[in-house]
Amino acid sequence: MGANEAAIEAIEKIARGIRQRVLAHSIANNGGYMSQACSSAELLATLYGGVLNFAPVHEPIDPPIFIGVPEIGVHTYKTGAQFHGEKGAQFDRLISSPAHYALVIYAALIETGRLREDGLEHFNRDGSTVEMIGAEHSPGFETTTGSLAQALSQAGGIALARKIRNEAGRTWVFMSDGEFQEGQTYEALQAAKFHGLNQLRVTVDVNMNQCDGPMDTVMRIEPLEDRIKAFGWDVSVLDGHDIPAILAAAEKVTENPHMLLCYTDPVRGLPILAERIPTLHYLRFTGADERAKYQKAYQEMSK
């Protein structure tokens, strides 16, 4: 096996781990953002496991308890970016925009040795930072983006600051496709191009589903590639489950901000989830029978 194959196999393992952890958690807690794990597992696994140049963490970090919100003059808390390692001019940053993917992010952090495995036991517990909707104190989060489509602008500001300081590291943003219904996204696209932020990299989980159902029935966003290109960005369109394709696109050197539109399948790796179409946004079991079916699927997945 070549080095490249080994790397891809390692990423595949992370992706499997993400799906398993989110499914196990959803079964145990009678619900979870399952389709998001199915659609983004390879994408987040590739980012965390192969693309992002983060400083190492020496051992998986124990999620801190919640010590308070930021206040004037009180900035003693650490953001969830500590799970991405120490910041540095040469290192990458990742700003995750869809904060309801928190469980998926936490799973990715565990799979890549950055969050303690028992960290998920704190999920959605009172007084914990491992919140259901990630905020900036939550593992893996650096900004507060639960009100969607605000991360790209904030990351734009971070990328602009890093450009002023001539930093080599890239600023990555992980987005969901629903955020392309918000006007602010397009304001951010035009500003990133205007200010020449070619170290800004965006990956989008285009799973074509949102809270109310399939996006085509809620508010159409296609043709996404044409739209983003029209703002002067470089765009790569790819299969979001194709790890080598994501790796290749991520390393592309571009003169413009670069967006990876990763088209994904929201039931990938968990076919019984398809029975719930068109309502995939949140998995809440209809009863003990359905839960048992998912338990069985988990056992299949874990073989």
Using the rule CB under 8 A, give the single segment among 26-34, 36-44, 160-168, 220-228 that binds another protein: 160-168
Using the rule CB under 8 A, give the single segment among 54-62, 101-109, 188-196, 221-229 that binds another protein: 188-196
Cα 278 to its chain centre, rounded Å, is 22
Using the rule CB under 8 A, give the single segment among 11-19, 152-160, 233-241, 268-276 that binds another protein: 152-160
Name the residue among 224, 227, 254 with its Cα closest to residue 238: 224
Binding of another protein at residue 162 (CB under 8 A)?
A: yes
Q: Which residues fall within 8 angstroms of residue 239, CB to CB, at 6 or more apart?
A: 245, 262, 263, 264
Q: Which of 20, 40, 138, 145 binds another protein (CB under 8 A)?
A: 145
Name the residue among 214, 229, 140, 131 with its Cα closest to residue 177: 214
Contacts (CB under 8 A) with another protein, residues 93-122: none
Q: Which residues fall within 8 angstroms of residue 149, CB to CB, at 6 or more apart?
A: 97, 179, 182, 184, 185, 188
CB 136 within 8 Å of CB 96: no
* Least CB distance to another protein at residue 69 (A): 7
Cβ closer to another protein: 140 or 266? 140
Binding of another protein at residue 37 (CB under 8 A)?
A: no
Rg (CA), the chain: 18
CB 48 within 8 Å of CB 111: yes
Cβ closer to another protein: 164 or 288? 164
List the structure tokens of 259: 């967006």
Q: Which of 11, 22, 34, 159 binds another protein (CB under 8 A)?
A: 159
Binding of another protein at residue 156 (CB under 8 A)?
A: yes
CB 45 within 8 Å of CB 114: no
Q: Which of 2, 56, 68, 73 binds another protein (CB under 8 A)?
A: 73
Binding of another protein at residue 129 (CB under 8 A)?
A: no
Q: To which residue do tokens 């080598």 refer?
A: 244
Binding of another protein at residue 155 (CB under 8 A)?
A: yes
Binding of another protein at residue 46 (CB under 8 A)?
A: no
If DSSP codes are grouped into helix, strand and coil, which group holds residue 132?
A: coil
Give me the amino acid identity at 188: A
Q: Which of 125, 194, 272, 278 binds another protein (CB under 8 A)?
A: 194
Contact residues for another protein, defined by CB under 8 A? 69-75, 136, 143-147, 150-162, 164-165, 183-184, 187-188, 190-191, 194-195
